[in-house]
Each structure stands twice: as structure tokens, then as C-alpha cells.
């Protein structure tokens, strides 16, 4: 479990980005974090593996506090992180070299590194690209490489910081697909995104606003709350709520795509 207790964070120039966050990420869950630009999403998740440490309050991973540098080595093996820009997080020249970077740092046996690398590459569907140069890959393939890089660390918790925001639609859905698969395999996912549609896949949504948690709940509840308070939500969701409000559609269910909404409508009409 990742636990935030009263966490505040200010930049060296005193701009405060997080205000007293209390939060728990349970094992095995899939949490998405949304919020406007500048609401503190990235700052929040960078606390999860000790890249940032709170100015006030504590963050702990499985009981180990990130304030103690002695713990960081273990924490970072448990919490893997993938970042936004596909072009500036690669460390190796080829796919397999980059994926191997993490396990190499752990000073594992070469055979173990090999197994982890090939397993992770298989998990993200990049088999056949092992020896390709990263500079010849597309943004989507680069992000998959980065993903394999954290998988090779055998991290339990995977934190994705707007990993799809520089990708096109097709690669975006491929990456999300892989993330979902990893969650089914038992990994705990924390997924920061701008794309509201991606939120539907998760168990829990956290909406950040001005450095605090504004809403925290299931996608259906969160979307409902956003809709009720006049925020923009994906068009299909907006339609669902309006149909629910006028009694055409049942309130209990939340159709997530055009097909499931159509089935729902055909039943009630």
C-alpha cells in the first residue's frame, strides 16, 4: 500500500503545489488521477517513489517512508514510473538495452536479466524489436519500451504520468490496453491522464484541483459529480447522464461505449 499522510509540497521558490494530501493506494487497484494542468498531478505521483519528498507530512510504501534515503533502493524496485515524453526517458540505444537498464542496476545475474528483459518485452508486445535502435521507433513504441523497462524491475506498483499525452489515438489505446492487462496480472496501477475516456477503465478516480483532492470515487460517481457541477465530460458520458436524468436510461448502469449505450437504449425503448 502507498500511503500519503498530510502531504504538502512547495517548490524551492515557495509556490505550494500540494496541500495536505491524505491518500491510500491499495494493492491490486487501478486508480486514475485527473485534473487541470497545474493542479499538482505530476507532483503528487512523483512522491510515490521518492523522486520528490514532502515538505510536510509523510509518504510510505508498504510501511517504508520515502524520507529515509536508505529505503529508496527498495521503494524504487517496488514502484516503477513511466513519464510523459517518450524521447527523453530512454537510457539505452536499443530496445533490449534500455529494458535491461533497470535490472542491470540491481546487479542481478546475467541470466536473470536476460529472462526479465525478454519477458517484459513480450508483455508489452515488442517482440521482434529487441535489437531495434530506439531512435527509429515511433512515440508509441518508445513508450512501450519504457513500460517494459519498469516491468523488468518486477515493480508491484506502476505509476504512469501522462504517458499517452504525446501519442496518437492508435498508440494511445494500445498502451492503455497493455496497462489494463498488467492490472489483470495483479499489478497496482496509478494512471495520470488528460483523456477522460481513459478514466472509464479504472476502479477509482481521483480529481486533483489546486493541489488538493477534489473528488475521489468510482468513475461513474466522479463523472456524475463533474457533470452535476457543470464540468465538461466526454460527450457520450454527458449523453448518458442526460438520458438517465430524463428517465430514459437506468441510473444504476454506466455504459462505457457507443455499443453498450445502444444496447441499453434498445432495451428501454
Partner 1 sequence: MSIDVKGLCFSYGKGKNEVQVLKDITFSIDSNESVGIVGKVGCGKTTLIKHLNGLLMPDSGNVTVDGLPSSKKEVCKKVGILFQHPSKQLFCSTVFEDIAYGPTNFGVRGDELDSCVHEAIREVGLAEEILERSPFTLSGGEMRLVALAGVLSSFPDYIVLDEPTSGLSSSGKANLFRILDSLKNNGVGIVLVSHQLEDVLDVVDRLIYLDNGKIAFEGTPSEYLASMPSPVPQVTELMRGLKRSGIDVKDDIFSVDHAFEEIYAAWSEKKGVL
Partner 2 sequence: MAEPLFSYVRGNSFLHNMDPRVKIISVMCLSILIFNISVLSHLLVLAVLFGMLTNIAGVSISVAIRSLRPMVIFFCFIFLIHLFFTDGSPIFSLPFSPTYEGLEKGTVVTGRFVLLILFGSLLTSTTRPALITSGIEHLLRPLPLGKLGTTSFEVATMMSLAIHFVPHLLWYVRQIKDAQMSRGLKYGHHPISGMLSLAIPALRGSMRMADDVALSMESRCYQGNYRTSLFEMKMAASDRFVCIFVVLGTALIIYA
Q: Does position 149 bind partner 2 by CB under 8 A?
A: yes
Contacts of 17 (CB under 8 A, 6+ apart): 9, 10, 11, 40, 43, 211
Q: Does position 229 bind partner 1 by CB under 8 A?
A: no
- Residue pair 39/210 in contact (Cβ under 8 Å)? The answer is yes
**Strands (DSSP E) found in 16-129:** 16-25, 30-35, 56-61, 64-65, 79-82
Q: Does position 108 bind partner 2 by CB under 8 A?
A: yes
The piece of 53-61, 69-77, 91-99, 260-268 that touches partner 1 (CB under 8 A) is 260-268
**Which of 1, 93, 133, 248: binder of partner 1 (CB under 8 A)?**
248
Q: Does position 209 bind partner 1 by CB under 8 A?
A: no
- Residue pair 8/57 in contact (Cβ under 8 Å)? The answer is yes
Q: Does position 107 bind partner 1 by CB under 8 A?
A: no
CA gap 93, 91 in Å, rounded: 7
Positive or negative torsion for Cα 223, 224, 230, 232: positive
Q: Pattern of binders to partner 2 over 61-100, x per CB under 8 A? A: ------------x--xx--xx-x-x-xxxxxxxx-xx--x
62 or 214, CB closer to partner 2? 62
Distances (CA, A) of 2 to 42, 48, 102, 156, 196: 16, 7, 21, 11, 24
Q: Does position 235 bind partner 1 by CB under 8 A?
A: yes
For partner 2, the binding residues (CB under 8 A) are 46, 49, 51, 73, 76-77, 80-81, 83, 85, 87-94, 96-97, 100-110, 113-114, 117, 131, 133-136, 146, 149-150, 153
Q: Which residues bind partner 1 (CB under 8 A)?
A: 34-38, 162, 165-166, 168-170, 194, 196, 231-236, 238-239, 242-243, 246, 248, 257-259, 261-262, 265-266, 268-269
Amino acid at each position: 500500500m502507498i500511503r500519503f499522510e498530510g502531504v504538502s509540497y512547495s517548490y524551492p521558490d515557495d509556490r505550494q503545489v500540494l496541500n495536505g494530501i491524505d491518500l491510500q493506494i491499495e494493492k491490486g487497484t487501478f486508480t486514475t488521477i485527473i485534473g487541470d494542468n497545474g493542479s499538482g498531478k505530476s507532483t503528487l505521483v512523483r512522491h510515490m517513489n521518492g523522486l520528490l519528498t514532502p515538505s510536510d507530512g509523510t509518504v510510505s510504501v508498504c510501511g517504508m517512508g520515502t524520507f529515509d534515503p536508505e529505503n529508496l533502493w527498495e521503494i524504487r524496485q517496488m514502484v516503477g514510473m513511466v513519464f510523459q515524453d517518450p524521447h527523453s526517458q530512454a537510457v539505452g540505444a536499443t530496445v533490449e538495452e534500455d529494458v535491461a537498464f533497470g535490472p542491470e542496476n540491481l546487479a542481478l545475474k546475467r541470466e536473470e536479466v536476460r529472462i526479465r528483459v525478454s519477458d517484459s518485452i513480450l508483455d508489452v508486445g515488442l517482440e521482434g524489436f529487441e535489437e531495434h535502435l530506439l531512435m527509429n521507433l515511433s512515440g508509441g513504441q518508445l513508450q512501450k519500451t519504457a513500460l517494459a523497462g519498469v516491468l523488468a524491475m518486477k515493480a508491484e506498483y506502476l505509476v504512469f504520468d501522462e504517458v499517452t499525452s504525446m501519442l496518437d489515438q492508435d498508440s494511445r489505446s494500445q498502451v492503455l490496453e497493455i496497462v489494463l492487462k498488467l492490472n489483470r496480472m495483479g499489478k497496482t496501477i496509478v494512471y495520470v491522464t488528460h483523456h477522460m475516456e481513459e478514466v472509464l477503465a479504472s476502479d477509482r478516480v481521483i480529481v486533483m484541483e489546486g493541489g488538493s483532492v477534489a473528488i475521489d470515487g468510482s468513475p461513474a460517481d466522479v463523472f456524475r459529480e463533474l457533470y452535476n457541477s457543470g464540468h465538461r465530460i466526454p460527450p457520450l458520458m454527458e449523453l448518458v447522464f442526460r438520458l438517465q436524468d430524463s428517465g430514459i436510461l437506468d441510473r444504476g448502469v454506466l455504459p462505457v461505449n457507443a455499443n453498450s449505450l445502444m444496447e441499453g437504449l434498445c432495451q428501454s425503448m
